[in-house]
Structure 1
Amino acid sequence: MQRPHIIGVAGGSGSGKTHFAKELQQRLGDAHCAIIYQDNYYIDQSAKFDGDGGSVNFDHPSSLDFTMLASGLRTLKSGGTLQIPIYDFCTHSRKKETLLGEPKKVIIVDGILILHSDEVRAELDEMIFFDTPEELRFQRRFNRDVHERGRTPEGVKKQFELQVRPMHDQFVEPSKDHAHLIVKDLGDYSIALKQIAERLTNRLIATV
């Protein structure tokens, strides 16, 4: 089996990166492409969590186990399978259950801070960054967290002001300097999706 081609898809929260990753996987097909999410690799925060919009900073690199993620990517590169942790956002700890990660032809790694991590970046063959205006990113995050995750509008706003924005400016935004491709979400999204899907299909998936 050929070594997996690993693509990092980064950008701020609400930038469109996860939607892009899912659409790319859909075009390539589940049999050939899998997604690994940064969010699965949060460390246990149960002892520190003090409420919605509280002191636990989920947007700081220290909240994530990048060493474990990088090790998992190396396992996939060598043809092995891995047990992907599942983070429980209700208890703020890892579940006992895990997800199976398999070495498919294309592995997409999705997360706001994956290009910040030297360890993870070293395992990526291709890096894409979604450069999306803050106003749009906030509105998307607000709608998702309030309507889909049951959070309070006040907690979402407080978290964005105290954590999301400063962490984006300090860690996420500078990491785009490592990207091979920067996508302006409002203009380049469809073009980038089509071109990347076609390139990967022709180069990796169509080959025997």
Structure 2
Amino acid sequence: MTATVVGISGGSCSGKSTLTQLLFEALGPDQCVILPQDDYFFGLGDAPQGKGGPNFDHPNAVDFENLCEQLAQLKNGQAIDRPLYDFPTHMPKAETRRTESRPVILVDGILILQHRPLRELLDLSIFVECDSDTRFARRLERDVRERGRSAQSVREQFANQVGPMHDLHVEPSKSHADIVINSQQCQSHYEQPLRLILSKISVQNQ
């Protein structure tokens, strides 16, 4: 039996990773595994021609070929050695992480619904929407605290890359979602969406 793949997308700091974690906790580690898009970034200066670069919100920054290949392996019950990414250095880590397949695979990332080959591997797709001001405030707090960024660099990146790429690539991908959730209305609890998503996963697994 193949695994059920659930894609959770949305803008940067929209709340998609919170929803992903809540789904993981509800299903449990024996039934579920998370595959983050962020671990499949090409490194700065370490990417094929025309790929990677300083704009990490552009689809070319993501190694979708490897992501799709490894997701297909997990979906078919095979274990993978997935890459790990180091945000402070903008480079993949030297080590990988052995990841076993589970009945449910959660794929979390801002660009996963705009990439057609990846979409075709999803059994259920979710888009978490959130207004730009809220996403910026969350990103400012996160990047300064967790990723060693200065407040000024976060502002500049959001204005020059995150915002424009969201409008160009992320927001239009919402049209491919089976379920659209507004994280501000949920207030980070996601009680009703969680019940809906878990019921749909249960149907997929029957």
Fold agreement, TM-score > 0.5: yes
Q: Which residue of 2 aligns with 1:196?
A: 197
Corresponding position of 2:10: 11
> What's the CA shift for 1:46?
4.2
The match for 1:139 is 137
Matched, 1:178 2:158: no
Alpha-carbon shift at residue 102 of structure 1 (Å) = 1.6
Q: Counterpart of 1:35?
A: 34
Conservation of the 8 A alpha-carbon contact between 2:88 and 2:147: no
Deviations 1:30-64 (A, max 9, x none): 1100100000000121469xxxxxx7111000000
Would you say 1:78 and 2:79 are equivalent positions? Answer: no
SS at match of 1:104: coil
Consecutive aligned runs of 4 or more in structure 1 exceeding 4 Å deviation: none
Spell out, residue by residue over 1:118-164, the C-alpha distance to the aligned partner (whole angstroms, 9 max, x if none). Answer: 12111111100011111111111111111222311100000000000
Please name the residue that 1:158 is paired with: 156
Quote the Cα distance in structure 1 between the aligned partners of 2:46 and 2:104.
Answer: 37
Q: 1:51 matched to which residue of 2?
A: none
After superposition, the CA RMSD in angstroms is: 1.8
Q: Which one-letter code corresponds to 1:83 in the other structure? A: D
Deviation for aligned residue 1:184: 1.2
TM-score if structure 2 supplies the norm length?
Answer: 0.90
CA contact (8 A) 1:3 1:77 kept: yes
Q: Which runs of 5+ in 2 are unaligned?
A: 48-52
Stretch of structure 1 that moved more, 18-27 or 190-199: 190-199
SS in 2 for 1:193: helix
Q: Secondary structure at the match of 1:22?
A: helix
Secondary structure of 2:38 counterpart: helix
Q: What is the match of residue 57 of structure 2?
A: 59
What displacement does 1:203 show? 5.9
Give me the whole-angstrom Cα distance separating, in 1, the residues matched to 2:27 and 2:120.
Answer: 24
For 1:94-109, list aligned pairs within 5 A: 94-109=92-107
Going from structure 1 to structure 2, the CA distance change for 1:63 and 1:203 (only over 3 Å counts) comes to: closer
How far does residue 195 in structure 1 lie from its aligned partner after superposition?
2.4
**Residues in 2 aligned to 1:64 and 1:157: alpha-carbon distance in whole angstroms:** 22
Q: CA deviation at 1:73?
A: 1.2
The TM-score, its normalising length taken from structure 1, stands at 0.89
- Counterparts of 1:96 and 1:69 in 2: how far apart (Å)? 17
% same residue:
41
Shift of 1:198: 4.3
Deviation at 1:201, TM superposition (A): 4.8
For 2:30 and 2:46, the matched residues in 1 are separated by: 39
C-alpha contact 2:75 2:105 (8 A) present in aligned 1: no
